Amino acid sequence: MGLVVQKYGGSSVADAESIKRVARRIVDTAQAGNQVVVVVSAMGDTTDDLRDLAQQVSPLPPARELDMLLTAGERISMALVAMAIHDLGHQARSYTGSQAGVITDSAHGKARIIDITPGRIRQAIDEGHVAIVAGFQGVSQDTKEITTLGRGASDTTAVALAAALGADVCEIYTDVDGVFTADPRIVPNARRIARITSEEMLEMAACGTKVLHLRCVEYARRYRMPVHVRSSFSTREGTWVIDTDTEGQDMEQAIISGVSHDRSEAKITVVGVPDQPGKAAAIFQAVARAEINIDMIVQNVSAASTGLTDVSFTLPKTDGVIAMSTLEGIQAEVGFAALQYDDQIGKVSLVGAGMRTHPGVSATFFEALALTGVNIEMISTSEIRISVVTRAEDVDAAVRAVHTAFGLDALEVEAVVYGGTGR
């Protein structure tokens, strides 16, 4: 019928039994008349185990060697999946990122895909094989070195490969039945989202909804590749991420897509910044030079009496140490008084394309938080999103309150978490 790219995450190939189940599913798809290309992550906790091993040998391992090490993870899972398919009587061949033609830049550990030249994959599927491809990895264009795309990037491999092959659909298999209106671990009666635009999915991924990787959604949007997020543990329909331009017409558009939350960020406050032109710029230029992605920024109104102001911003906790040392390095130059670091924050976001045309959304949002007694520390908005920073311990209550306030609660529990704790 068509060409299907399927991606299975680490929890879907965590052990021999899981791998056999996944193989059955792949063979079923092939026997239904499809050409099938499969992208796999490393088994279960393999990548973390390999990182631990590296740590035991060297506290700061060279990035090239870390990539060489970590890419062993998918090599193992892809070969095992191919074996399991073979055992069911179907032909399958596994390919490393390099063999599959995943060409990247040479930024080890966070490489970006430059091009995909899937000649060997095309040949394999044209010869009737299922092609199994290692996610998360590629080969650098200039130096022919093995690279990794950064965590969770197997989704990106799958969508990029699907686009390069002109696939009909890219199916992302995970351990939940799709994207929900909130994290079912916090809101048990969250609803499964049947269809969502890539624009909204982008905002949700950026705001902490972990089902799909951010860069993967960007790829899907750019190449207009339909993505179907679903569970490898059931045969239910999951969530279709589709392109607004091509399918927007007949889409039953919900006002609100869902509530996302994120506990991975910290807040830095630069206290007592002289309220003069160029001071804020100096701060953020220094942070940018250290390659830190900042998220939200708030500058207090300057107290006229002192001529000083406070600047707060949020950033990934993992960048906290380097950001603080970077800022300490420019304290004399900028002339601020002190730095505060706070990693006990959380972010709660409401995403929905309907916000554009439905006034009053933000009023309902803030009212819901107020009624629950959640204090708002920072606010940021886009056309289709409202985000607030709260205390970390208030996140669950805030998510539940907002979910209920916008009528997103399902009558019954729809979400089933099949696998372990993560992907």
Contacting positions for its own copies (CB under 8 A) = 16, 19-20, 50, 53-54, 56-62, 64-66, 68-69, 71-73, 75-76, 78-80, 82-84, 86-87, 92-94
Q: Pairing state of beta strands 137-140 and 92-95? A: unpaired
Of the pair 85, 348, the CB lying nearest its own copies is at 85
Of the pair 53, 338, the CB lying nearest its own copies is at 53
Task: Output the smallest distance, CB 165 to its own copies, in A.
Answer: 20
Task: Output the smallest distance, CB 413 to its own copies, in A.
Answer: 34
Contact 206, 214 (CB under 8 A): yes
Task: Output the smallest distance, CB 1 to its own copies, in A.
Answer: 27
Number of H helices, E strands in the chain: 14, 20
Of the pair 61, 274, the CB lying nearest its own copies is at 61
Smallest CA-to-CA distance from 340 within 360, 355, 320 is with 320
Of the pair 86, 317, the CB lying nearest its own copies is at 86
| Residue type for position 258 | G
Of the pair 30, 350, the CB lying nearest its own copies is at 30
| Residue type for position 157 | T
Quote the tokens at residue 89. 């009587």
**Cβ-proximal residues to 192 (8 Å cutoff; 6+ apart), any chain:** 177, 178, 179, 180, 181, 238, 239, 414, 415
Task: Output the smallest distance, CB 40 to its own copies, in A.
Answer: 12
Task: Output the smallest distance, CB 191 to its own copies, in A.
Answer: 37
Smallest CA-to-CA distance from 351 within 260, 262, 264, 263 is with 260
Distance, CA of 28 to CA of 34 (rounded, Å): 9
Of the pair 12, 181, the CB lying nearest its own copies is at 12
The C-alpha torsion from 226 through 231 and 236 to 238, rounded to 10°, is -40
Task: Output the smallest distance, CB 72 to its own copies, in A.
Answer: 4
